[in-house]
Structure 1
């Protein structure tokens, strides 16, 4: 019995060491990539930037196939760090675009679908900057299959991101209405004021769309959510211009807050 215990212990230690070594290797690669991308694409030529993108694509393809030995959330965090460096390198992205965004999130959704904060970046980068809302919605649908409304985290926000992409970028008002209805259904399970407010807003948006699939009120509400959750200035500018084009009005308060007025007519 003692001999068997020692064998199991030894096997566990070896497995842990191998897992730790793999994680450290991935970490070193990630840090190296972060440093390389942050060093100044401003002085890098377009051919070199394209080679960097190709290299990063190969690395992401490798990470998709790399076993995580039970450390899926850690691997997901590292991939997210890589995305943030990639997304935040404005000078490089102006020249090469954001085509790798879906590949980052395919890994993260697969490894750590409970990573709530990443879904907002997923929606913005893939739908707005890459122009692939179908892929954004598909990834959110995949993640939602692993989630429930009773978890400590407020996953109902993902339904709202999904509904926003369906409404604003796919033009699918029926699918968007269903997503906002699910957001309200999941949010109502929480008793805190924020969740109750989200439930009411989501229900209202769904009602707007039920009455009028082309509802300006619903679209302005969706763009308002994009504006409030914007991860960069470019997204804020786009959201404000779309709200104003729909007849809404954006007011910046003296305290720096944002107030949005609906159009006079739906």
Structure 2
């Protein structure tokens, strides 16, 4: 058992109180910053974006001294703040999204959660699927079917971007096949379900490269990611536009009814 001296305990409590005090002092400043962003001119917001881009470029080039994961995590938190600021993004767009992920995945290509943010923010919102796919392709060089756990999702995200945003059925088919192959190495229920679902999408594309069934299946993958309400609604609208129907079950899950013809 570890015993602390009264002096050490006192120092610890003092440090905690200092941190709490600083946090409380910063709250009005944070509220002021949020309010100022809401009323800031577009020119001011663009200057802030340019400043952030310079910071990200610096992070791409600076030495990390072994703290790659720390920089990746810190950059991911910055991205979440950037992406979640809906009011500002509605005015300025999402052009910095791939810049964040160049930093994140260069420092930690095995950061699995980052790939779904990359796919959604860069392909869907920033309309840069080529950048998203290129970053995934590079990151996959550092992955294997076993490391990190559930790495097969990255192949699936790549296939989603290729099919839905580039209309590249051939490469999408190869990506979904890779997702199925990697997932088949695992015996847990999630992996087995994903392997079967990905294989079914490959079969749709084999029969018909322009398959509505394949596109609906792929939008269903987006829907199941449950990122945010805006992404969810976009996926539902796309499924319905393709002739599918999204049925909500009493337990909150969703069921997709395919159109009668592909």
Q: TM-score, normalised by structure 1?
A: 0.84
Query: C-alpha deviations, 1:37-82, integer Å up to 9, x for none?
Result: 9723212221211111111111111111111111111100000000
Residue of structure 2 equivalent to 1:79: 75
Residue of structure 2 equivalent to 1:28: none
Residues 256 and 139 (structure 1), Cα distance of their counterparts in 2 relative to 1, 3 Å cut = same
1:72-111 → structure 2 map (5 Å cutoff): 72-111=68-107
Residues 115 and 38 (structure 1), Cα distance of their counterparts in 2 relative to 1, 3 Å cut = farther
Pair 1:39-2:46 in alignment: no
For residue 245 of structure 2, the aligned residue among 239, 245, 249 is 249
C-alpha displacement at 1:256, in angstroms? Answer: 2.1
Give yes or no for contact 2:159–2:176 (8 Å, CA) kept in 1: yes
Residues 70 and 38 (structure 1), Cα distance of their counterparts in 2 relative to 1, 3 Å cut = farther
C-alpha displacement at 1:232, in angstroms? Answer: 1.7
2:224 and 2:141 map into 1 onto residues whose CA distance is 26
1:152 and 1:39 map into 2 onto residues whose CA distance is 37
Pair 1:135-2:131 in alignment: yes
1:174-253 → structure 2 map (5 Å cutoff): 174-253=170-249
Backbone CA RMSD of aligned residues: 1.6
| SS of residue matched to 2:233 | helix
Residues 49 and 206 (structure 1), Cα distance of their counterparts in 2 relative to 1, 3 Å cut = same
1:149-160 → structure 2 map (5 Å cutoff): 149-160=145-156
For residue 164 of structure 1, the aligned residue among 143, 160, 172 is 160
For residue 50 of structure 1, the aligned residue among 46, 53, 65 is 46
Unaligned stretches of 5+ in structure 1?
Answer: 1-30
Q: TM-score, normalised by structure 2?
A: 0.86
Residue of structure 2 equivalent to 1:144: 140
Unaligned stretches of 5+ in structure 2?
Answer: 1-25
Query: C-alpha deviations, 1:17-51, integer Å up to 9, x for none?
Result: xxxxxxxxxxxxxx9xxx59972321222121111
| SS of residue matched to 1:86 | helix
Residues 36 and 99 (structure 1), Cα distance of their counterparts in 2 relative to 1, 3 Å cut = farther
Moved over 6 A (4+): none
